[in-house]
């Protein structure tokens, strides 16, 4: 949405200030406790280091979070993201060897599109509650993907160009980052240069008023689910390109939860309405930084979850407005 | 008929009819399906889910959500097992402690949600990580429970008629359901929960006890989760950090299938029963079929879920139009 | 009437598991046994439900691969009361009364860990110089294979003080997580990594990619040992990227069916039946690869 | 009737300050409430009346200042606290739960219970009886067990009042309770209020209707721009003086009235043929010509809103159709009606109008943009200019066009929503209670604007619905009276006076 050009509020009041601060704090903690965490070097002609890893690993999550942001902005939720990741990755891997890159990508995104259309249909035409509508695909989706592979992990050996999306480098940086930047940029442009952002928020805040004002509420809702699935499809291709295989049962497992978490950490409200694409991207980075830091610090696996929980609590509470008033009092 | 159609509980009735249809289909296709014990097994096997779903109903009716229930269940089994097997506490005390602990865990989440004005989703998601993580801090391995009380409760069969039986766990679940119904419809707390779901801002302006109710709702859900944990412990006789993975989604699905609206305010606690039974029936159907591969199992569950929800929705729409 | 067997599988979480299921299904067909198959999607409660439904259907014999070891007493008692014999496959259970099941056929995870440890021990004996640093990719936290394989491995390598596990993190049995965790290990530049022990082949395959991307040679710069022996592992060994895999044989279908027939025919069977499992190193990989069925 | 001023006030506020980011809503406000009086709080839109009330009831915490009840300082933190202290409030917007039944909305918080012997559960029979009893005071006989959302806004407003009346209290606060009530309902409410006053209750009453103020109030406090302008005895303050104190300008001449000539009405733009919907409106014929204002008059629930909604396609008609520019149309959604040039400003601004969290600019732009589709209708600067233009023309009091509309006072929200529809330059404009919650001055401006829009070059055809008969009579060129959800008569301007219309409206249905 067009933001006011002359922000009367100081910089630290900016809605993104707190997520950014949380991210910075995490990085500082990591840098202090893990020697060389911030170290970057050039290896094989590209940047190499934990920071690059974080960006690289967060890419699929960022794609999923972008879509989830819009879905949540319309008061919806999409729990089928992980399943769509599995479907798209599988379709891509099954076809890429025999039919070539272009067809495999088109088919994978086509499959994701179908998933989105299905979700959109259930939510906007049939009027099912979003969580149930998408739960159906969440349950069945992995089954469909496994059906394609007969339960096997499909390993891709050829063509090498397939590995470029999830493992290649461009200008010294992972290709996946450029993909996220492009998708994110295009989405932001779509939101700013068209009325889509306005409509999405309107539908999320007050669907009744939106309808009376002449907004095509059903079409908007339909769109966000399709968009979200497409993003998930791209993420699926990225993940399977990265590990050079499709694992229908495990690819993108619980990605939907992380995506929702990313959106909320970035300041999005699950009750719909105002959204921030940049905030969600930062939210995704917070999650990945946390995971990477935990790995790097050598936290024992059985403690990992507790650490994660505590950090999420801390980040949320520090971001709440009640906290600031509380502290002052 | 007309009155039935006009009743606000129409959606719930649709569920019951559809469920009967589903059962009929099973009875027609598979031998041994149409037996009393199969029906009772639905209740026995899903007792813990029913208890969680009752707690979840309140949370969802109040316009919130609680993702931590599955983990709290696991934590309860773990703590109970540890206290019984390692610390050798008496079983009655252990039961009291874990129930209180679960309620406190839930209430604490409610407090964080209320005081810091945070979203329930994110707080309970963190609660989910926390509870699951605490399990592994106690032990990564499973702990077998052999306390006599638990073993007895686990293996008692309450005979009904013609050889059919019910487990104590199932009985407890039914009692919890009854209590839930009573609380929702006959107490001020229950009505405030509905009011919160209808419009929290209005409830606040109407001078209702918004904060207290919110904390209590999550406390209740935590209590139900730990009670479900006990039922689970009776059922499995073990404490384990991986128990009941993803049960929160099952519970939410059950509540929503039972006709409660996820955004709060509309629905019935009784719906939880029909939701749980539908999910259970779908699984029983698949187990009786016994020819589906792992992936077809998922697809068929999804498809049945879809058919059920779509039919339910279309019938409700038709009623709204007519 | 043909024999009816109810079989409750854990899920389809890995290639190994899928091979296991396929073997059981094929063997049942071969043996003329009617198979009632149920997938529990990794949930114990679902397995209990399935077993109860088998009891209600009055099958002749019940077999299942338990998700967890504990918590089976009640339902197995019900099966016993209904007079249905129970066979455990793949994983054992802890029950107070061992007569609740007739026999257990499957691998021993602790033994697998030991085998992996022995290979490392031998390598350490040959290697000159000081300490050898090991990193470990664990399976899903709390799962039986992860706990047991770790236990067996640690038990054996204790014998040599040169061997040290410097890092251990869960890779959740998947390629993607295995790769991510390995990437993180490789970024720690304080200690050189000599050996990687992965709780399954999938994580090892993911880790191999991470090692290559870090500019190192898997199998040479870092020795890799993993467990399962799936086809992908043999391919990696053939390419010289994986040093050894400890087989965990999923193909126990034929043995299971034979057992079922014996039990129904009231023939005596042993309480514990192990499946034949080998340890395959890179040098035999090329020869062995065409024989792999999974 | 006035109590001597020497008696001590029940409730006193002094030196209240309250600021929101960027706005100073209240500065140094004082107010005294005496037992047994009706105290009117008057002021223009955005003067700070509602904010003051919210401070009083603990919904907002004042930045500075003191509130005393019976001489003791109180600091309510929640409405709950205020309620326990005996302060009952009806807020400006209907703040009830749409999902609960009418009876529950009235009794929630203090349900009649069965005895402990019977389990102490809520006594539903008593709840319903109690609700019926309170509503009966206002002559409202509805099914109290039906959910609140089933009823129109005016009924909901009565329910909100009933809720406040149910429990005896020390202080009763009513923030524009009559904004969508018809005359009869207002009279019944007043009867109740007078009785309560005579019982010693202190009543604080906010309204924009001068008639009502003088009919009821003993004392008047005037607020202007977030400050107390002064406190007066109603009997000593003339209407003109009151208006001047509110507006803060020297006495103006009577605002220029438009000529009462019957306007040049042109070709029919929109007509309805047998338009109806089961249970809501009997088939209705109606014609609307270019450049005319058609007033719809009727009692609560007479079907005016429903008629408007059907014309606009907000509800699907199950009988009849509309003719727009000579073409027969059946609306499937408001979109089609908007595309054809119809605009509809709903009576329920909170639920059907305002997008509370969006800026005033976006709210104004919404309908225009929606008609255009996804391509932006205009550049950001032009949007800003358009919004600023309407803010200025309609006198919307807002810090900037970027302020979320939810932070505006009720009346100003209403104006912004009117701007939304004016921006679409419709051929037909349907206004359902557009004067709701607008102050005296703004109301006159609005009515002048309405007539200007119709009679000026734009030549808009306007449907004007208001529960205020004088307004309807003043505005309309033609008047359609509805009764019991069907047309009861149609009159040209000047054919009828207020009295006779009232007779038609209230006539016993056959
Ligand atoms: N929550 C809020 N945030 C920011 N500003 C607010 C908020 N509530 C009210 N205001 C501002 O405070 C001022 C006073 O508003 P208030 O609602 O008290 O006016 P009012 O006198 O009740 O007007 P009306 O007659 O239109 O209801 C307005 O300028 C309004 O914009
Ligand atoms: N007093 C009432 N009793 C019962 N139902 C009512 C009453 N008032 C309104 N309604 C409901 O409102 C619907 C139509 O009223 P509508 O809102 O069109 O009337 P209106 O003339 O605009 O009156 P209002 O002043 O209430 O807005 C009816 O279908 C009816 O269900
Ligand atoms: Mg106001
Ligand atoms: Mg009306």
Q: What is the pLDDT of residues D296-336, one digit of tens each?
A: 988 777 889 999 999 999 998 888 899 988 888 889 899 99
Q: What is the pLDDT of residue D510?
A: 42
Q: What is the pLDDT of residue A5?
A: 42
Report the C-alpha gap between D322 and C146 in whole angstroms. Answer: 72
Contact: A206, D351; criterion CB under 8 Å: yes
Report the C-alpha gap between A263 and A286 in whole angstroms. Answer: 11
- Which of these, C215, C256, C211, lies nearest to C236 by C-alpha position? C211
Q: In the structure encoding, which two tokens stand for residue C112, read together?
A: 């697998």
Q: Is residue D212 part of a domain?
A: yes
- Per DSSP (E only), the strands in C139-201 are 163-170, 195-198
**Among the partner residues C15, C187, C189, nearest to A152 by beta-carbon distance:** C15
Query: What is the percent of chain D with per-residue pLDDT over 90, rounded to a whole number?
Result: 36
Query: What is the percent of chain B with per-residue pLDDT over 90, rounded to a whole number?
Result: 54
Residues with CB under 6 A from ligand 1: D 20, 23, 25, 43, 45-51, 92, 397, 407-412, 437, 439
**Among the partner residues B126, B295, B313, nearest to A126 by beta-carbon distance:** B313
| D196 vs D168, higher pLDDT | D196
Contact: A126, B310; criterion CB under 8 Å: yes
Query: What is the percent of chain C with per-residue pLDDT over 90, rounded to a whole number?
Result: 52
- In this structure, the answer to whether residues D354 and D503 fall within a common structural domain is no
- Residue C138, min C-alpha distance to chain B (Å): 12
pLDDT for B1 beyond 60: no
pLDDT tens figures, D67-81: 998 888 988 888 888
Q: What is the pLDDT of residue B170?
A: 94
- In this structure, the answer to whether residues D180 and D322 fall within a common structural domain is no
Rg of the Cα atoms in chain A: 20
Where residue B8 falls among pLDDT bands split at 50, 70, 90?
low
Question: With contact defined as beta carbons under 8 Å apart, do D452 and D484 qualify?
Answer: no
pLDDT tens figures, B83-137: 999 999 999 999 999 999 999 999 999 999 999 888 898 899 999 999 999 999 9
- In this structure, the answer to whether residues D466 and D335 fall within a common structural domain is yes
Q: Is residue D441 part of a domain?
A: no
Question: With contact defined as beta carbons under 8 Å apart, do D365 and D384 qualify?
Answer: no
CATH number at D234 reads 3.40.50.300
pLDDT tens figures, B251-310: 998 998 888 888 888 888 988 998 899 889 988 888 888 888 888 888 998 998 898 888
CB pairs under 8 A between A and C: 88
- In this structure, the answer to whether residues D373 and D330 fall within a common structural domain is no
Q: Which ligand is nearest to the CA of D152?
A: 2
Q: What is the pLDDT of residue B9?
A: 62
- In this structure, the answer to whether residues D301 and D240 fall within a common structural domain is no
Question: With contact defined as beta carbons under 8 Å apart, do D420 and D386 qualify?
Answer: no
pLDDT for A321 beyond 80: no
Q: Is residue D158 part of a domain?
A: yes
Tally the domains of chain D. 3
> Of D181, D216, D247, which residue is a domain's last?
D247
Q: Which contacts qualify for B306-309: CB closer than 8 Å, 24 or more apart?
A: B306/A122, B306/A136, B306/A140, B308/B18, B308/B22, B308/B257, B308/B278, B309/A128, B309/A132, B309/A133, B309/A136, B309/B257
| Phi, psi (deg, nearest 5) at residue D482 | -105, 145
Q: What is the pLDDT of residue D472?
A: 87
Q: Is residue D3 part of a domain?
A: no
- In this structure, the answer to whether residues D283 and D238 fall within a common structural domain is no
- In this structure, the answer to whether residues D21 and D63 fall within a common structural domain is yes
pLDDT tens figures, A118-171: 999 999 999 888 988 999 999 999 999 999 988 888 888 878 888 988 888 888
Least confident of A7-16, B4-13, B83-92: B4-13
Where in the sequence is the domain holding D26, given as residue range(s)?
A: 11-247
> Of D183, D213, D247, which residue is a domain's last?
D247
Q: Is residue D260 part of a domain?
A: no
pLDDT for A324 beyond 80: no
Q: Is residue D171 part of a domain?
A: yes
Helix residue spans in D64-209 (DSSP H): 79-84, 102-107, 124-137, 153-166, 183-198
> Of D401, D425, D449, which residue is a domain's last?
D425
pLDDT for B4 beyond 50: no
- In this structure, the answer to whether residues D307 and D378 fall within a common structural domain is no
- In this structure, the answer to whether residues D239 and D158 fall within a common structural domain is yes
- In this structure, the answer to whether residues D149 and D100 fall within a common structural domain is yes
- In this structure, the answer to whether residues D334 and D351 fall within a common structural domain is no
Q: In the structure encoding, which two tokens stand for residue B61, read together?
A: 């009716």
- In this structure, the answer to whether residues D89 and D117 fall within a common structural domain is yes
Q: Going by CA atoms, what residue is nearest to atom 3 of ligand 1?
A: D407
Please state the ipTM of this predicted complex.
0.89
Least confident of B159-173, C130-144, C277-291, D370-384: C277-291
Report the C-alpha gap between B16 and B277 in whole angstroms. Answer: 10
Where residue A38 falls among pLDDT bands split at 50, 70, 90?
confident
Global pTM reads 0.91
Q: Is residue D258 part of a domain?
A: no
Mutate to test the pocket of ligand 2, among D300, D308, D483, D487 (most ligand atoms within 8 A of CB): D300
pLDDT for A1 beyond 50: no
Q: Is residue D164 part of a domain?
A: yes
Where residue B56 falls among pLDDT bands split at 50, 70, 90?
very high
Contact: B209, D80; criterion CB under 8 Å: yes
Helix axes B168-186, B210-236, angle to 10 degrees: 170
C18, C176, C231, best to mutate vs chain A, most A CBs in 10 Å: C176
- Residue B1, min C-alpha distance to chain D (Å): 19
């Amino acid at each position: 949405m067009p933001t006011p050009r002359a922000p009367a509020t100081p910089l630290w009041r900016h809605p993104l200030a707190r997520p950014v601060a949380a991210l910075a704090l995490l990085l500082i903690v990591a840098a202090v406790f893990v020697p060389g965490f911030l170290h970057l070097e050039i290896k094989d002609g590209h940047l190499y280091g934990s920071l690059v890893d974080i960006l690289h690993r967060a890419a699929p999550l960022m794609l999923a979070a972008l879509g989830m942001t819009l879905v949540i902005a319309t008061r919806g939720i999409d729990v089928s993201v992980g399943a769509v990741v599995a479907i798209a990755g599988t379709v891509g891997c099954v076809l890429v060897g025999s039919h070539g890159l272009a067809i495999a990508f088109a088919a994978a995104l086509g499959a994701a599109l179908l998933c989105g259309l299905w979700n959109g249909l259930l939510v906007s035409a049939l009027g099912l509650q979003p969580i149930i509508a998408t739960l159906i695909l969440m349950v069945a989706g992995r089954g469909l993907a496994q059906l394609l592979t007969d339960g096997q992990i499909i390993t891709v050996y050829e063509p090498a160009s397939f590995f470029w999306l999830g493992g290649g480098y461009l200008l010294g940086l992972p290709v996946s980052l450029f993909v996220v930047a492009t998708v994110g940029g295009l989405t932001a442009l779509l939101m700013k240069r068209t009325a889509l952002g306005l409509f999405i928020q309107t539908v999320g805040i007050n669907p009744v008023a939106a309808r009376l004002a002449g907004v095509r509420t059903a079409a908007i809702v339909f769109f966000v689910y399709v968009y979200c699935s497409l993003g998930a499809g791209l993420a699926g291709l990225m993940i399977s390109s990265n590990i050079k295989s499709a694992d229908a049962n495990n690819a993108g497992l619980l990605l939907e939860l992380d995506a929702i978490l990313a959106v909320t950490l970035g300041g999005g409200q699950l009750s719909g309405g105002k959204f921030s694409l940049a905030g969600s991207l930062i939210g995704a980075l917070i999650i990945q930084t946390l995971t990477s830091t935990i790995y790097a610090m050598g936290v024992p696996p059985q403690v990992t979850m507790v650490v994660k929980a505590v950090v999420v609590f801390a980040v949320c509470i520090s971001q709440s407005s009640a906290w600031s008033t509380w502290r002052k009092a | 008929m007309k009155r039935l159609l006009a009743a606000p509980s129409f959606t719930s009735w649709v569920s019951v009819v559809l469920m009967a249809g589903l059962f009929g289909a099973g009875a027609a296709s598979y031998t041994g399906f149409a037996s009393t014990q199969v029906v009772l097994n639905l209740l026995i096997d899903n007792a813990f889910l029913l208890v969680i779903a009752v707690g979840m109903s309140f949370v969802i009716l109040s316009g919130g959500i609680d993702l931590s229930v599955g983990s709290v269940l696991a934590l309860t089994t773990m703590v109970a097992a540890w206290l019984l097997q390692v610390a050798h506490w008496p079983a009655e005390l252990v039961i009291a402690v874990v129930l209180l602990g679960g309620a406190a865990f839930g209430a604490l989440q409610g407090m964080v949600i209320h005081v810091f004005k945070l979203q329930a989703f994110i707080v309970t998601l963190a609660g989910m990580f926390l509870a699951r993580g605490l399990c592994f801090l106690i032990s990564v391995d499973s702990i077998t429970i052999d306390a006599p009380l638990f073993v007895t409760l686990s293996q008692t069969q309450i005979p009904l008629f013609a050889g059919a039986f019910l487990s104590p766990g199932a009985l407890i679940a039914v009692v919890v359901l009854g209590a839930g119904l009573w609380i929702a419809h006959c107490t001020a707390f229950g009505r405030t929960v509905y009011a919160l779901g209808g419009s929290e801002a209005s409830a606040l302006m109407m001078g209702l006890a918004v904060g207290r109710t919110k904390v209590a709702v999550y406390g209740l859900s935590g209590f139900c989760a730990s009670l479900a944990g006990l039922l689970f412990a009776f059922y499995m006789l073990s404490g384990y950090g991986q128990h009941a993975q993803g049960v929160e989604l099952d519970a939410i699905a059950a509540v929503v299938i039972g006709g409660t609206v996820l955004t709060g305010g509309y629905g019935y606690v009784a719906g939880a029963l029909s939701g749980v039974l539908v999910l259970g029936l779908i699984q029983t159907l698949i187990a009786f079929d016994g020819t589906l591969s792992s992936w077809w199992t998922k697809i068929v569950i999804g498809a049945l879920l879809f058919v059920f929800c779509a039919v339910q929705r279309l019938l409700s729409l038709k009623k709204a139009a007519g | 009437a043909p024999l009816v067997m109810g079989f409750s599988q854990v899920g389809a979480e890995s290639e190994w598991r899928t091979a296991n299921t396929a073997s059981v299904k094929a063997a049942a067909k071969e043996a003329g046994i009617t198979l009632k198959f149920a997938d529990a999607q990794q949930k114990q409660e679902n397995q209990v439900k399935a077993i109860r439904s088998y009891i209600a259907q009055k099958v002749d014999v019940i077999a299942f691969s338990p998700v967890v070891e504990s918590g089976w007493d009640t339902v197995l008692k019900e099966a016993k009361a209904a007079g249905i014999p129970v066979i455990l496959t793949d994983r054992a259970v802890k029950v107070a009364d061992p007569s609740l099941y007739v026999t257990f056929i499957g691998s021993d995870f602790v033994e697998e860990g030991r085998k992996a440890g022995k290979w490392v021990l031998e390598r350490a004996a040959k290697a000159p110089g000081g300490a050898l640093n090991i990193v470990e990719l664990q399976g899903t936290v709390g799962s039986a294979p992860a706990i047991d394989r770790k236990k067996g491995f640690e038990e054996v390598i204790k014998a040599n003080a040169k061997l040290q596990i410097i890092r251990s993190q869960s890779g959740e049995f998947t390629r993607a997580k295995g790769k991510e965790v390995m990437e993180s290990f490789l970024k720690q530049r304080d200690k050189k990594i000599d050996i990687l022990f992965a709780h399954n082949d999938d994580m090892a395959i993911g880790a191999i990619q991470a090692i290559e991307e870090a500019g190192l040679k898997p199998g040479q710069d870092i020795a890799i040992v993993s467990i399962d022996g799936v086809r992908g592992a043999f391919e990696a060994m053939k390419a010289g990227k994986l040093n050894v895999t400890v087989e965990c044989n999923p193909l126990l279908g034929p043995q299971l069916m034979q057992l079922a027939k014996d039990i129904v025919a009231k023939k005596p069977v042993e309480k514990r039946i192990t499946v034949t499992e080998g340890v395959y190193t890179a040098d035999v990989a090329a020869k062995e690869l065409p024989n792999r069925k999974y | 009737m006035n109590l001597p001023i020497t008696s001590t006030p029940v409730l006193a506020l002094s030196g209240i300050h309250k600021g929101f980011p960027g706005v100073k809503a209240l500065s140094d406000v004082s107010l005294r409430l005496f037992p047994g009086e009706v105290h009117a709080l008057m002021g223009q839109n955005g003067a700070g009346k509602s904010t003051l009330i919210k401070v009083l009831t603990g919904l907002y915490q004042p930045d500075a200042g003191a509130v005393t009840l019976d001489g003791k300082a109180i600091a309510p933190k929640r409405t709950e606290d205020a309620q326990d202290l005996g302060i009952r409030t009806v807020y400006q917007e209907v703040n009830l739960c749409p999902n609960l039944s009418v009876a529950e909305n009235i009794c929630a918080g203090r349900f009649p219970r069965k005895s402990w012997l019977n389990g102490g559960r809520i006594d539903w029979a008593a709840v319903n009886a109690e609700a019926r009893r309170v509503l009966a005071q206002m002559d409202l006989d509805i099914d109290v067990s039906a959910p609140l959302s089933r009823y129109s806004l005016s009924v909901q407003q009565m329910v909100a009042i009933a809720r406040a009346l149910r429990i005896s209290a020390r202080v009763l606060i009513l923030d524009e309770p009559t904004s969508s009530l018809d005359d009869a309902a207002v009279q019944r409410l007043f009867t109740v209020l007078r009785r309560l006053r005579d019982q010693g209750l202190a009543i604080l009453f906010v309204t924009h209707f001068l008639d009502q103020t003088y009919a009821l109030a003993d004392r008047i406090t005037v607020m202007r721009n977030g400050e107390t302008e002064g406190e007066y005895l109603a009997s000593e303050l003339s209407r003109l003086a009151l208006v001047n104190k509110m507006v803060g300008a020297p006495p103006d001449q009577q605002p220029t009235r438009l000529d009462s000539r019957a306007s040049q009405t042109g070709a029919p733009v929109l007509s309805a043929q047998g338009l109806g919907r089961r249970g809501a409106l009997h088939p209705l014929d109606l014609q609307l010509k270019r450049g005319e204002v058609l007033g719809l008059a009727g009692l609560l629930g007479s079907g005016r809103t429903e008629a408007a909604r059907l014309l606009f396609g907000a509800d699907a008609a199950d009988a009849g159709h509309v003719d727009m520019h000579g073409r027969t149309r059946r609306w499937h959604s408001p979109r089609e009606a908007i595309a054809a040039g119809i605009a509809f400003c709903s009576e329920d601004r909170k639920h059907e109008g305002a997008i509370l969290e969006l800026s005033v600019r976006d709210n104004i732009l919404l309908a225009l943009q929606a008609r255009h589709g996804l391509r932006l209708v205009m550049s950001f600067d032009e949007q800003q200019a358009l919004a600023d233009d309407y803010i200025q023309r309609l006198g919307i009091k807002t810090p900037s066009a970027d302020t979320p509309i939810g932070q505006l006072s009720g009346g100003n929200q209403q104006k912004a929503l009117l701007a939304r529809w004016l921006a679409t330059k419709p051929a037909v404009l349907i206004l359902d209670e557009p004067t709701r919650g607008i102050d005296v001055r703004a109301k006159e401006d609005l009515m002048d604007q309405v007539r200007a829009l119709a009679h000026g070059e734009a030549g808009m055809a306007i449907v004007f619905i208001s529960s205020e008969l004088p307004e309807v009579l003043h505005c309309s060129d033609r008047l359609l009276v509805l009764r019991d959800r069907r047309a009861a008569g149609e009159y040209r301007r000047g054919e009828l006076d207020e009295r006779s219309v009232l007779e038609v409206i209230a006539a016993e249905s056959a």
